[in-house]
Amino acid sequence: MTQPINVFEYETLAKNQLSEMAWGYYSTGALDQITLGDNRAAYERYRLRPRMLVDVSQRDLSVSILGQSLSRPILIAPMAFQCLAHPEGEIATARAATEAGMMMVLSTLSTQSLEEVAATGCPRWFQLYVHKDRGLTKALVQRAESMGYQALCVTVDAPFIGRREADVRNEFTLPKGLKLANLLTMADVTLPDVPDDSGLFAYFKEQIDPSLTWKDLEWLQSMTKLPVVVKGILRADDALLAVQHGVKGIIVSNHGGRQLDGAIASLDALQDITDAVGEQVEVLMDGGIRRGTDILKALALGAKAVLVGRPILWGLAVGGQAGVSHVLQLLTEELELAMALSGCPRIGDIDSSLVEPRTIANL
């Protein structure tokens, strides 16, 4: 097989590797998938204004996030159930992250445990869903801290799960042999089989706490020394509330178009948030990234780094650890080239002067 030369080719190949249920779960969004499509379209709404006659013979993509030095401004987003894509699942992804010197954010709903992922040595954060069982939630936080996770990434946009019609149609649940690895030994928590519905939807309704408020961030911070990052912010006023409640980082995100359909694209929400919070906290973003130029535009609009989700799954499905590594390599090489062609030898040279929104006049 000829090796894919971009993320889109990996996506095409991955569809042929995955079961209908896994493909539907990974690839689709909520309801009419308006936000899912808009996350991609948003990048086309911005054009680049490159600088010329800059010495770009040496490029440096390194960045520091919450005091952690990373080789490039790309993190692996938290994604559940990675063993649906490949038997090694999150372990393969973690090993690829370790090789690349990149941060991986592990999902609460991973199919390999946080201890198993920690054993790979990869730089890592733990993504947390706050359960109704606060004792269970506290235990997850304490396990993550004891295993060397470097931040707690709290998802705040999912008091209930968005209605994903592919999951309803496929009656989504985990195949025999896969498990909620982080919860298996802690409580009688499983993904139910639900006729004519999604088992994940039922799980969220039964287990996840919809009463979560800003005050609960103080409770989380009281039980851990880990910096808290909130994921799912789309408004400047919410970003300022996050700062007031002591978070160290914000991830501008609409959950990959999988929650509120019709929500603003992450890229379109980004600059209002970075303008509002300034340097008070570090702002990252996810949603729709498929090219190095996408990353460049996000950095120019104020993101300190980006998180990449579905492309990692496509690489995992096609080639396991090697596939993930190659996807990360492709995105890194594209970003490095885009920086060079834009007159930006270092990440710190990227600023808002590099981008302008398309208008009717300049289409």
CA 355 to each of CA 130, 232, 294, 297, 300: distance values in angstroms, whole numbers, following the listed order:
37, 24, 11, 7, 7
253: annotated binding-site residue? yes
CA distance 283 to 331: 20
Query: Tell me, what's the pLDDT at 207?
Result: 84
Based on its alpha-carbon atoms, the radius of gyration of the chain, rounded to whole angstroms, reads 19
Would you name the residues annotated as active-site residues? 255
256: annotated binding-site residue? no
Query: Tell me, what's the pLDDT at 184?
Result: 81
255: annotated binding-site residue? yes
77: alpha, beta or left? (left if phi > 0; alpha if psi -120 to 50): beta
DSSP state of 131: B
Query: Tell me, what's the pLDDT at 200?
Result: 74
352: annotated binding-site residue? no
CA 166 to each of CA 30, 111, 122, 158: distance values in angstroms, whole numbers, following the listed order:
9, 21, 33, 18
192: annotated binding-site residue? no
* Total-model pTM: 0.95
25: annotated binding-site residue? yes
Per-residue pLDDT of the chain (363 residues; tens, 9 = 90+): 589 999 999 999 999 999 999 999 999 999 999 999 999 999 999 999 999 999 999 999 999 999 999 999 999 999 999 999 999 999 999 999 999 999 999 999 999 999 999 999 999 999 999 999 999 999 999 999 999 999 999 999 999 999 999 999 998 999 989 999 998 876 666 666 666 667 677 777 778 899 999 999 999 999 999 999 999 999 999 999 999 999 999 999 999 999 999 999 999 999 999 999 999 999 999 999 999 999 999 999 999 999 999 999 999 999 999 999 999 999 999 999 999 999 999 999 999 999 999 865 455
CA 136 to each of CA 19, 32, 133, 149, 206: distance values in angstroms, whole numbers, following the listed order:
32, 34, 5, 18, 14
Count of alpha carbons within 13 Å of 159, Cβ hemisphere only? Answer: 4
CA distance 216 to 241: 13
| Domains of the chain with bracketed CATH | 7-350 (3.20.20.70)
15: annotated binding-site residue? no
Query: Tell me, what's the pLDDT at 317?
Result: 98
Query: Tell me, what's the pLDDT at 193?
Result: 66
CA distance 342 to 74: 19
231: annotated binding-site residue? yes
The answer to whether 151 and 229 have CB atoms below 8 angstroms apart is yes
